[in-house]
């Protein structure tokens, strides 16, 4: 059993993070496996060293020790580049030159678009550009993103599923990545998106069980497609319920009072915080 906790150093850890960390930590410790720590710091404009240091400190103070070295995504751009090159060679990527505004306008003109978990699905504007049009636009120097051509990808992979570890035991979950559409896998200036980096990292770190919040369940459909395209092993998944505040709203970075730092300063012990994270 190899599990991982993979926060982004864009703020202090809060109770919701600890819930995720606990799921992975317990699964590893209960089975004599390994619990890994990864810092998802690809977006260097939002990540700060100060937060990275604080994450490590908070976890150790809580007693959630990890095994082996911490993997920092920003030190592994070559791994993501290789995966991207491979996908490019399979002709399942295309450059998208749309700005956010253009995507919004296109959707409005078409009378709306199916709504995925992270907003309206990309309408596929740039999917149909021919080679000449693409080269011309790329030459002109405008920014672009590389998107996954989902229908081409699915034609290559065929039907897929993964094993979801739920409270009633494991069950197979069929893959349906349509709601997310043609996701962005890289940008001109950022060499890997969350989807690409996570998929590659879980394989390189030989993670066998991915525990994360149910808000990321939609992404798993896309990750499973990437695993199939890149010939990577498929871990099992456990998407756990998200912690909410007393009014039922999801805990987030806005809930400053619920950072581990502030609870610790408020006099809570590590055991009390762990128990809150498990039961809140
Ligand atoms: Zn586009």
User: Is residue 147 within 8 Å of 96, Cβ to Cβ?
Assistant: yes
Is the pLDDT at 126 greater than 80, yes or no? yes
Q: pLDDT per residue over 257-277, tens digit each?
A: 689 999 999 999 999 999 999
8 A C-beta contact, residue 154 and residue 166: no
* Centroid of ligand 1 to alpha carbon of 218 (angstroms): 22
Mean pLDDT score, 111-135:
81
The pLDDT tens digits for 47-70 are 999 999 999 999 999 999 999 999
Q: What is the pLDDT of residue 245?
A: 73
Model pLDDT, residue 113 = 63
Q: Looking at residue 20, what is its pLDDT?
A: 93
C-alpha 98 to ligand 1 mean position (Å): 4
Q: How far is the CA of 262 from the centre of ligand 1 (A)?
A: 43
User: Residue 117 C-alpha to ligand 1 middle, in angstroms?
Assistant: 19
- Identify each DSSP E strand in 26-150 by its residue range: 34-39, 71-72, 93-96, 115-116, 119-120, 145-148
Whether 116 has a pLDDT exceeding 70, the answer reads: no
Higher pLDDT, 246 or 192: 192
**Dist. CA 146 → ligand 1 center (Å):** 9
**Percent residues over pLDDT 70 in the chain:** 95
Q: Which residues surround ligand 1, an ion (CB under 5 A)?
A: 96, 98, 125-126
Q: In this predicted structure, what is the pLDDT of residue 250?
A: 74
Tell me, in angstroms, the distance from the centre of ligand 1 to residue 221's CA: 22
Altogether, the residues listed in the chain come to a count of: 280
* Reported pTM: 0.92
For 91, half-sphere exposure in the C-beta direction (CA atoms, 13 angstrom radius) is 4
Question: Which of 24-28, 104-108, 151-155, 193-197 has the least mean pLDDT?
Answer: 104-108
Q: Sorting pLDDT into bands at 50, 70 and 90, what band is 101?
A: confident
Question: Could you report the per-residue pLDDT of 190-233, keeping only the tens digit for each?
Answer: 789 999 999 999 999 999 999 999 889 999 999 999 999 999 99
């Amino acid at each position: 059993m190899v599990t991982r906790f993979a926060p982004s150093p864009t703020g202090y850890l809060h109770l919701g993070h600890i819930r995720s960390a606990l799921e992975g930590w317990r699964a590893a410790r209960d089975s004599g496996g390994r619990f890994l720590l990864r810092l998802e710091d690809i977006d260097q404009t939002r990540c700060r060293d100060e937060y990275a240091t604080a994450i490590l400190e908070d976890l150790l103070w809580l007693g959630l020790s990890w095994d082996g070295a911490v993997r920092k995504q920003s030190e592994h751009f070559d791994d993501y580049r290789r995966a991207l090159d491979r996908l490019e060679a399979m002709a399942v990527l295309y450059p998208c030159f749309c700005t956010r505004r253009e995507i919004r306008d296109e959707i409005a003109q078409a009378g709306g678009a199916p709504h995925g978990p992270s907003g309206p699905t990309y309408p596929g504007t740039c999917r149909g550009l021919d080679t000449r049009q693409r080269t011309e636009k790329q030459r002109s120097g405008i920014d672009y993103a590389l998107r996954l051509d989902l229908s081409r990808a699915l034609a290559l992979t065929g039907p897929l599923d993964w094993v979801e570890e739920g409270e009633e035991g494991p069950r197979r979950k069929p893959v349906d990545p349509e709601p997310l559409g043609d996701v962005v896998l890289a940008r001109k200036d950022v060499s890997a998106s969350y989807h690409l980096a996570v998929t590659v990292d879980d394989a390189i770190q030989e993670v066998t069980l991915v525990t994360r919040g149910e808000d990321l369940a939609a992404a798993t459909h896309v990750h499973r497609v990437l695993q199939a395209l890149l010939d990577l092993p498929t871990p099992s998944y456990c998407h756990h319920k998200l912690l909410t505040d007393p009014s039922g709203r999801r805990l987030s970075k806005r809930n400053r009072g619920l950072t581990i730092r502030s609870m610790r300063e408020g006099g809570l012990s590590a055991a009390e915080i762990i128990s809150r994270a498990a039961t809140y």
